[in-house]
């Protein structure tokens, strides 16, 4: 096995960050600002691939809303994420991006984007700043385990080792493996006694076995509806795809669907059921039911298609039909495969970590980002969570390296 310079007898031990996505880069910046030499190891040929992919449809950095409202998006993890998000909330994310020269704007729903919409200008500015701090980023360095206390990597020049003074892991979840988040690290940590929660798809589309009737509607958006699954609801849009339903409206309720809740869609979220029933009682004469729905309720296009797809045989009695229009059952075959989900739940269990995000089983090893067991909807919450936990873990790791004390720097 070849031994890298870091393991030579008189070399200064670096701080090591494994994973060069948003959480890892944020942690690396904090370690460098604390005066530590930093090595960032990335398995892929380039950094932040999932971050760049997110920017292709408009880089949603955060959600500009009151802190408690933002915090509630993290569900069961909100309690333990609170101090991290309070230290790096939506306002802090915006200041950070602006300090990197990015002009931002806030959309009508509170979502915050760079004016250029893309992720690449922000990433270039960020990497320039990190390079100025002396960051050593090594791509095609895949972590494969340990040799004693040294981390071992598979690299283009053979196996290499780094024995760091402190380590931050930012290895992603288990979706979009081609971008780097393949979850293979889970077995390595489990072998060292780290408690893990099973991975599960989050922000996932749904598989629907459409009838031939729906072929003409593939690619069309579903607007002005409300989705409901368990305690989760959404007024967001969805898109009819060849394999099912995609889009923010579906992603927002996919956690409940994943956990077994039935999914319904309200085709008239701005009209009460009684009003729908009243309109449906108008005489229809010889008109067909679909024509009557079009005339009395202006129901047409994709929304009418969904009713025909999921509601047949349609109730003839107006109150029963009105009830169906307000809660149309959506028949589906479950969520899309985990590797196709935008994010994942599961990963390193909260109980495996102390308050500084250090692994109890591996002193001096901290975790951050999507590899932690938390989930949040799309809309800026995912990136905000990665930024905040990466910053927290980086600052705590710097404290550990400098003082041997596992405590976040406030």
CB distance 375 to 344 below 8 Å? yes
CB distance 240 to 247 below 8 Å? no
CB distance 236 to 247 below 8 Å? yes
Task: Return d(Cα 176, Cα 154) in angstroms, integer.
Answer: 21
φ and ψ of 245, to 5 deg:
-125, 135
Which sign, positive or negative, has the C-alpha torsion 375, 254, 326, 65? Answer: positive
Low-confidence ranges of the chain (pLDDT < 70): 1-11, 404-410
CB distance 201 to 258 below 8 Å? yes
> Does 313 sit behind a cis peptide bond, omega within 30 degrees of 0 on the bond before it?
yes
Q: What Å distances lie between residue 243 and 209, 211, 357, CA to CA?
A: 7, 11, 39
Give the tens place of pLDDT for each residue, 94-147. 999 999 999 999 999 999 999 999 999 999 999 999 999 999 999 999 999 999
R_g of the chain computed on alpha carbons:
25
Task: Return d(Cα 388, Cα 394) in angstroms, integer.
Answer: 10
The residue count for the chain: 410
Architecture field, domain 5-201+342-403: 3-Layer(bba) Sandwich (3.50)
Task: Return d(Cα 7, Cα 105) in angstroms, integer.
Answer: 47
CB distance 327 to 261 below 8 Å? no
CB distance 207 to 336 below 8 Å? yes
Tell me if the pTM is above 0.75.
Answer: yes
The pLDDT of residue 11 is: 58
- Residue 13, classed as helix, strand or coil, is coil
Task: Return d(Cα 171, Cα 78) in angstroms, integer.
Answer: 21
Task: Return d(Cα 81, Cα 326) in angstroms, integer.
Answer: 36
The strand pair at 150-155 and 158-162 is best described as antiparallel
The 3-class SS string of 172-208 reads CCCCCHHHCCCCCHHHHHHCCCCCEEEEEEECCCEEC
For the chain, what are the domain ranges? 5-201+342-403, 206-329
The pLDDT of residue 10 is: 40
SS3 helix, strand, coil % of the chain, rounded to 5?
40, 20, 40
């Amino acid at each position: 096995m070849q031994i890298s310079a870091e393991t030579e007898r008189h070399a200064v031990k670096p701080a090591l960050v494994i994973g060069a996505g948003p959480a890892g880069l944020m942690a690396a910046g904090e370690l460098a600002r604390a005066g530590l030499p930093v090595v960032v190891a990335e398995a892929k040929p380039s950094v932040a691939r999932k971050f760049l992919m997110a920017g292709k449809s408009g880089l949603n950095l955060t959600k500009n809303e009151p802190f408690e409202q933002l915090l509630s998006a993290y569900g069961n993890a909100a309690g333990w994420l609170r101090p991290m998000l309070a230290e790096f909330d939506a306002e802090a994310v915006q200041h950070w991006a602006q300090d990197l020269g990015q002009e931002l704007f806030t959309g009508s729903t509170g979502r915050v984007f760079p004016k250029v919409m893309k992720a690449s200008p922000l990433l270039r500015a960020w990497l320039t700043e990190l390079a100025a701090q002396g960051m050593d980023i090594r791509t095609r360095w895949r972590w494969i385990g340990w040799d004693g206390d040294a981390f071992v990597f598979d690299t283009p020049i053979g196996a290499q080792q780094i024995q760091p003074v402190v380590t931050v892991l930012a290895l992603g979840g288990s979706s979009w493996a081609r971008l780097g988040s393949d979850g293979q690290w889970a077995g390595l940590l489990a072998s060292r006694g780290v408690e893990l929660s099973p991975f599960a798809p989050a922000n996932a589309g749904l598989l629907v076995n459409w009838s031939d009737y729906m072929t003409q509607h593939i690619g069309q958006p579903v607007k002005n509806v409300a989705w409901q699954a368990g305690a989760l609801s959404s007024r967001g849009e969805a898109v009819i795809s060849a394999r099912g339903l995609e889009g923010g409206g579906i992603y927002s309720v996919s956690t409940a669907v994943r956990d077994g809740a039935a999914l319904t869609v309200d085709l008239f979220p701005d009209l009460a059921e009684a009003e729908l029933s009243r309109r449906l009682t108008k005489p229809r004469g010889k008109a067909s039911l679909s024509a009557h729905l079009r005339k009395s309720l202006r129901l047409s296009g994709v929304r009418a298609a969904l009713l025909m797809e999921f509601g047949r045989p349609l109730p003839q009695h107006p109150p029963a039909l009105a009830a169906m229009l307000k809660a149309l059952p959506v028949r589906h075959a479950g969520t899309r495969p985990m590797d196709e989900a935008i994010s994942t739940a599961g990963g390193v269990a909260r109980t495996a970590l102390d308050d500084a995000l250090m692994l109890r089983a591996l002193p001096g090893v901290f975790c951050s980002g999507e590899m932690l067991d938390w989930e949040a909807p799309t809309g800026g919450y995912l990136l905000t969570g990665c930024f905040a936990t990466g910053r927290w873990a980086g600052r705590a790791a710097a404290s550990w390296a400098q003082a041997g004390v596992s405590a976040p720097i406030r």
